[in-house]
């Protein structure tokens, strides 16, 4: 029975590691509005209508890095009091 518990624990650990690794290796400029707001919530920001509106500017277009089209999202979040590094990550990551 003890070996079974160890195997279950190892399998659960591997599953959690795989999920974490996938999040850690995501590329930039893949943010969706839901991911943007979720990220901000995780840092304790209040996600109201203005933040949701700003996050609508978060895009999943790979050309955004070149065209800087996430800039409106980032700038609006900064105006709402979001720290610059959090705003940039929220609009460009995921």
Higher pLDDT, 71 or 41: 41
**Mean pLDDT, range 23-45, rounded to an integer:** 77
Predicted confidence at residue 38, as pLDDT, reads 94
Residue 13 has which token pair? 């650990």
Residues 4-33: tens digit of each pLDDT: 667 666 766 657 665 554 544 444 445 789
Distance CA(40)–CA(35), nearest Å, equals 9
Q: Residue 60: what pLDDT?
A: 54
**pTM score, whole prediction:** 0.59
Nearest-angstrom CA–CA distance, 73 and 94: 15
Whole-angstrom distance, CA of residue 25 vs CA of residue 50? 29
Higher pLDDT, 44 or 14: 44
Mean pLDDT of the chain: 77
């Amino acid at each position: 029975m003890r070996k079974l518990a160890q195997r279950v624990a190892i399998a659960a650990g591997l599953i959690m590691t795989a999920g974490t690794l996938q999040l850690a290796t995501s590329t930039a400029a893949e943010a969706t509005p839901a991911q943007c707001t979720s990220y901000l919530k995780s840092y304790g920001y209040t996600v109201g209508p203005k933040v949701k509106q700003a996050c609508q500017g978060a895009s999943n277009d790979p050309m955004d890095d070149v065209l800087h089209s996430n800039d409106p999202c980032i700038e609006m979040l900064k105006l709402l009091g979001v720290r610059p590094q959090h705003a940039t990550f929220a609009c460009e990551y995921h």
